[in-house]
Chain A
Amino acid sequence: MIKKISSVLIVTFFISTGAANPKTFYDLGYKWKTDQGKTVTLKSFKGQKVVATMVYASCQTACPLIIKKLQKVHEVLSKHKVAAQFFIVSFDSKRDSYKKLGHFKMHNDLNEDNWTLAVGSEADTRAYANILGIKYSQNPESGEIMHDNKIILIDEKGKIVKSIEGLDASIEKEDLF
């Protein structure tokens, strides 16, 4: 009896953490709170192209530049009528509340429907960054975050197809999907 209960619990545990068997980007089970206050998983993007990156709201140096680069990507894709979701996750799981991200979104004019900012638990953030191949460190005392600047492109089948590195914003259609 106990064995049955525990195996049920274990299975449930797995479904919830999503450690299960992620075949595509959409199968990853990490839970995010969006700037709208909604709780989502990556399943909500199923069947769509995703432009993914990570920033944090109090970043003064690179993050404004990465947002600019994302806006350029947005511009190029719109021009060529390629539909994609822009999903930006915060590195700073402790200090970036979803409300703060809402302000950040407004402040940077990321107003269209296909922009989503989100924040999750520290463990999910670390694992997600590892899936995307984005390195980051947090100084345990000052709280300051050092991170790669990468934009990851995921196709409509949920496969990671490209990693665009650096802050220089010269983007052409060939660089994207």
Chain B
Amino acid sequence: MLTFTLRRLLLAIPILLVISLVIFLLVDLAPGSPMSEIPLTVPPDVRQKMIEALGADQPVFVRYLLWLKQFFWVEPMTLVDGWFGTDFTAGEQRILSWQSRSPVFTIIGQRIPQTLTVVGTAYLVGVLIAVPIGIYSAYRQYSFFDQAGTLFAMIGFSVPTFFSGTLFIIIFAVWLGWFPTKYDTTLEVTDWATFWEQVRQMALPVMTLGLANAAAISRYMRSSMLDNMAMDYVRTARAKGMSERVVVLRHVLRNSLIPVGTVIALGIPSIFGGAIITENLFGVNGIGAALIGAIHANDIPMVQTLAFIFAVLIVLFNLIADIIYGLLDPRIRYD
């Protein structure tokens, strides 16, 4: 297992390097760079100075290597400096956003809590809805409940979040007036009243995303349960005279959760990636909104860094899912 993990970690390095190069070049070499958007009324020498100030006059590979160094050395060390009061990075330049001239990672640090609160809760709610639905659908296969669950999952797959979210706003916020239409990022939870306010404003985005997540996970849960229900050990357990409750909830459920666990782990990068749509629709000021803002503002370093962070998370959680699978299921041997 350890060898496998180490080998996969080593293999991840070249993959990530190639991805970083692809992202860097795609964003950097694209025609619509901000250099072309400096107004023509700006005198040439001023324009030259602006480009130099952004560091955009260097050759591509110099900027790429500098960005890699900043990403993998300067930024983590800045974090270490912040924790322990050391000064590894004194005088080193950090990755700066072209929009605000502040370090990209500071902005990400400010945005991440919003995303994690809303999108993370939604994911959790989705899993909590999906698992019981999956269990019961499989236990009573082809029953009315199972058919309804299948329909629910099909609709959940097919209705895009921007439409379900809009519908929820129209129904629950405009017509019924139960929840606010927009998420208020400045709200601070200090007492019960503000806590209740926070719950109310989180309700719609969490519902939108949670339903979409639940649809997919409940299908995986159902098919995994069905696979296990047909196993010999289930018949043995019943033959021993165990109650249905013990058979289903202890024997079958535990084994069925193994593949579902990896599916859940594989979905986690999308939490950080922020549901871009949902954050936009409800005005949650998270990572996804930051990415859209950066794209519209041609903020190249911000876009490159965010896109690469997402890629790192995807690779990382793929590895974690494989490891979880190997740890939980003794039949799986990678070595």
Q: Do A and B come from one complex?
A: no
A residues with a Cβ closer than 8 A to B are none
